[in-house]
Structure 1
């Protein structure tokens, strides 16, 4: 893509168009519904400048979303994955989108990034996890927009990854799915988030919890912020919730963090209430 092509694209793309591309750059994959929730507000839903006008109904917002995505697709700025969420019956709402070749080059030029990012068709499990993580990120943004929380920072992968030195001096990586800082009055709440689709065995979850313990022992976050983040596994149902809670409680090496209340296991439906501290948010959205 040449400079003149980029300049002409900038002139032809709206602020919302560019925001959609940036969202796909951050989250790697989004369904039509997730893009609607992010960029096409309904009625009195709070919006920012990049979202454009509000739509009277969810149907009107859905139609506008599909129209905009079709236009971006026609310019190869975005492309649909072969796999649909919910099968063929889900229709356009089940389409999964990622950046297309032109969109990837456009954003690399816009950000001055020389490293080309490969966009191939990932595995179904990877897509499911990516979309689950994106859904949680969007829930946080929705809560922020409606004033339920003040969302100070939201980091997706790989921005949210942390590096530290182990007790033996070896470099280690902690790779959460999301990191968020929210505010409630004069208090900040720091949170690492793990999107769990019940595909990992309990020992894998325990090993990840032990990595958080090692990162806490390094003291890096505490030195900068004066506290260590809570860690939340967000799971699909209560059966998975109970299994992870029991696995964490049974690991004696995690006893201090468990007793300190730094580990939380919540269902997807409980996630908004967990974030806001309000029981009335258990079914939002």
Structure 2
């Protein structure tokens, strides 16, 4: 795509079109249903900051969503992935989208970003995990629109990854699924969020918790922000919640950070209550 083609196409795109492309750039893959929740509000739902018009019903919003996505697809800005989330019965809501090469080039030109991202078909496991994290991010946006919280920042992968020096002086990486800063009243709350799908054994969770503890000991985040984030695992059900809580509590190397309350494990159903309460998860 040449520069003059990009300029011409940018003139044809609405603010909402660009917002959709930016959302796909941030979250990497999104379903039609998630895009609907982000950019096509229903009457009675708070509008997003761009002031998009509301739709009378969820059906009307869904129709408008697929119409806009089809238009962006016709311009080769976005591409649908072969597998639908939820199978054929999910219909258009289950279609999963990512930026196409032309969309990626357009956004690189818009941001002045020389780094080219390779776009290949992601694996089913990657899609499922990325969509789970995107759903949590969108729920944060929705809480902010409802004025339940103030949302100061949301970072998805890989933007939310952190590098630091380990105790041995080697460069190490921490790779949360999301980083967010929320506010309520006079307090800021920082969050590293893990979208758990109950497909990893407890020792894997413990190793990840130890990485968080190593990052906390480096003092990197505290030097910039004055506090260390709550590490929040969001799990499918209470059985998984009990499993992770037990694994973290039984690991002696986690006594320091675990005892401080920096580790929290909540079910999907309790996510909003935990965020709005500043991390006060139910025991």
TM tier relative to shorter chain: over 0.9
Contact 1:153–1:181 (Cα < 8 Å) also in 2: yes
Unaligned runs of 5+ in 2: none
Deviates more, 1:95-104 or 1:41-50: 41-50
Matches within 5 A, 1:119-268: 119-268=119-268
CA distance in 1: counterparts of 2:101 and 2:167, whole angstroms = 44
Contact 1:40–1:51 (Cα < 8 Å) also in 2: no
CA distance in 2: counterparts of 1:225 and 1:50, whole angstroms = 29
Q: Which secondary structure does the structure 1 equivalent of 2:42 belong to? A: coil
Unaligned runs of 5+ in 1: none
Q: Post-superposition shift, 1:195?
A: 0.6
CA distance in 2: counterparts of 1:108 and 1:222, whole angstroms = 32
CA distance in 1: counterparts of 2:49 and 2:165, whole angstroms = 42
Contact 1:16–1:51 (Cα < 8 Å) also in 2: no
Matches within 5 A, 1:264-283: 264-277=264-277
Does residue 104 of structure 1 match 2:107?
Answer: no
TM-score by length of 2: 0.96
Q: Post-superposition shift, 1:51?
A: 5.1
CA distance in 1: counterparts of 2:130 and 2:146, whole angstroms = 25
Deviates more, 1:103-112 or 1:21-30: 103-112
Q: Post-superposition shift, 1:50?
A: 2.9
Q: Post-superposition shift, 1:123?
A: 1.1
CA distance in 1: counterparts of 2:220 and 2:6, whole angstroms = 41
Q: Which secondary structure does the structure 2 equivalent of 1:142 belong to? A: helix
The match for 2:44 is 44
TM-score by length of 1: 0.95
State the number of aligned residues.
Answer: 279
Matches within 5 A, 1:45-124: 45-50=45-50, 52-124=52-124
CA distance in 2: counterparts of 1:181 and 1:5, whole angstroms = 38
Q: RMSD between aligned alpha carbons? A: 1.3
